[in-house]
Structure 1
Amino acid sequence: MNKTAESVWENCLSFIEDNITPQAYKTWFEPIKAVKLTDNALSIQVPSKFFYEWLEEHYVKLLRVALNKSLGNQAKLVYVIKMENARGKKPAFTEKIPSSQRSKVNSQDISMALNTKNPELKNPFVIPGIRNLKIDSQLNSNYNFENFLEGDSNRLARSAAKAVSAKPGGTSFNPLLIFGGVGLGKTHLAHAIGVEVKDKHPNKTVLYISAEKFTQQYIESVRKNTRNDFIHFYQVIDVLIVDDIQLLSGKKGTQDVFFHIFNHLHQNGKQVILTSDKAPVDMQEIEKRLLSRFKWGLSAELLKPDYLTRKKIITCKLYRDGVEISDSIVDFVAKNIKSNIRELEGAIISLIAHSSFNKEEVDLALAKKIVENYVHNSKKEISIDHIQKVVSSYFQMDIDTLQSKTRKRHIVQARQIAMFFAKKMTKASLASIGKQIGDRDHATVLHACKTVNNLTSTDKQFKKFVEDLDKRLVE
Structure 2
Amino acid sequence: MSVTAQSVWNNCLEFIKDNIQPQAYKTWFEPIVAVKLTDTALSIQVPSKFFYEWLEEHYVKILKVALTKELGETAKLVYIIKMENTYGNKQPFTEKIPSSNRSAVKSQDVDIPLNNKNPELRNPFVIPGIRNVKIESQLNPNYSFENFLEGDSNRLARSAGLAVAAKPGGTSFNPLLIFGGVGLGKTHLAHAIGVDIKDKYPEKTVLYISAEKFTQQYIDAIKKNNRNDFIHFYQIIDVLIIDDVQFLSGKTGTQDVFFHIFNHLHQNGKQVVLTSDKAPVDMQDIEQRLLSRFKWGLSAELQSPDFETRVSILRNKLYRDGVEMPEDIIEYVAKNIKTNVRELEGAIISLIAQSSFNKKEITLDLARVIVEKFVKNTKREVSIDYIQKVVSDYFQMDVDTLQSKTRKRHIVQARQLAMFFAKKFTKASLASIGSQIGKRDHATVLHACKTVDNLSSTDKQFRKYVDDITKKLSV
Q: Is the 8 A contact 1:165 1:197 kept in 2?
A: yes
1:239-281, CA deviations, whole angstroms, 9 ceiling, x for partnerless residues?
A: 0000010010111110000000000000000000000111111
- In structure 2, runs of 5+ residues without a counterpart are 1-123, 392-416
Q: Is the 8 A contact 2:138 2:207 kept in 1?
A: yes
Q: 1:283 to 1:437 in 2, by over 3 A?
A: farther
Q: Is the 8 A contact 1:173 1:297 kept in 2?
A: yes
Aligned-partner Cα distance in 1 for 2:346–2:292: 37
1:391-430 alignment, distance < 5 Å: 394=426, 396-397=428-429, 409=440
Q: Structure 1 stretches (4+) deviating beyond 4 angstroms?
A: 377-380, 382-395, 410-415, 432-442, 472-475
Following superposition, the deviation at residue 437 of structure 1 comes to 11
Aligned-partner Cα distance in 2 for 1:409–1:437: 25
Q: Is the 8 A contact 1:248 1:286 kept in 2?
A: yes
Q: Is the 8 A contact 1:378 1:474 kept in 2?
A: no
SS in 2 for 1:179: strand
Q: Is the 8 A contact 1:128 1:233 kept in 2?
A: no
Q: 1:212 to 1:371 in 2, by over 3 A?
A: same
Aligned-partner Cα distance in 2 for 1:253–1:224: 16
SS in 1 for 2:190: helix
Answer yes or no: is 1:267 the counterpart of 2:299: no
Aligned-partner Cα distance in 1 for 2:301–2:361: 38
Answer yes or no: is 1:278 the counterpart of 2:310: no
Aligned-partner Cα distance in 2 for 1:409–1:294: 25
SS in 1 for 2:241: strand
Aligned-partner Cα distance in 2 for 1:147–1:233: 32
Aligned-partner Cα distance in 2 for 1:437–1:412: 22
> Could you tell me which residue of structure 2 aligns to residue 355 of structure 1?
355
Aligned-partner Cα distance in 1 for 2:163–2:426: 31
Q: Which moved more, 1:389-398 or 1:279-288?
A: 389-398
Number of residue pairs the alignment of both structures matches: 313
Answer yes or no: is 1:232 the counterpart of 2:217: no
Following superposition, the deviation at residue 363 of structure 1 comes to 0.5
The AA in structure 2 aligned to 1:376 is K
1:1-400 alignment, distance < 5 Å: 125-126=125-126, 134-377=134-377, 394=426, 396-397=428-429
Following superposition, the deviation at residue 357 of structure 1 comes to 2.9
1:152-197, CA deviations, whole angstroms, 9 ceiling, x for partnerless residues?
A: 1111111101110111000000000001111110000000000000
Q: Is the 8 A contact 2:430 2:445 kept in 1?
A: no
Following superposition, the deviation at residue 354 of structure 1 comes to 2.5
Q: 1:164 to 1:254 in 2, by over 3 A?
A: same
> Could you tell me which residue of structure 2 aligns to residue 15 of structure 1?
none
Aligned-partner Cα distance in 2 for 1:273–1:347: 30
1:84-112, CA deviations, whole angstroms, 9 ceiling, x for partnerless residues?
A: xxxxxxxxxxxxxxxxxxxxxxxxxxxxx
Aligned-partner Cα distance in 1 for 2:457–2:266: 45
Following superposition, the deviation at residue 393 of structure 1 comes to 5.7
1:5-27, CA deviations, whole angstroms, 9 ceiling, x for partnerless residues?
A: xxxxxxxxxxxxxxxxxxxxxxx
Tell me the TM-score normalized by structure 1.
0.58
1:365-399, CA deviations, whole angstroms, 9 ceiling, x for partnerless residues?
A: 1101110122115899x999999556666571259
Aligned-partner Cα distance in 2 for 1:343–1:313: 12
State the identity %.
67
Q: 1:379 to 1:141 in 2, by over 3 A?
A: closer
The AA in structure 2 aligned to 1:409 is R
Q: Is the 8 A contact 2:423 2:430 kept in 1?
A: no
Larger radius of gyration: 2
> Could you tell me which residue of structure 2 aligns to residue 76 of structure 1?
none
> Could you tell me which residue of structure 1 aligns to residue 33 of structure 2?
none
The AA in structure 2 aligned to 1:333 is V
Q: Is the 8 A contact 1:241 1:273 kept in 2?
A: yes
Following superposition, the deviation at residue 132 of structure 1 comes to 7.2
Q: Is the 8 A contact 2:181 2:278 kept in 1?
A: yes
1:183-238, CA deviations, whole angstroms, 9 ceiling, x for partnerless residues?
A: 11000000000000000110100000000100000011111111000001000000
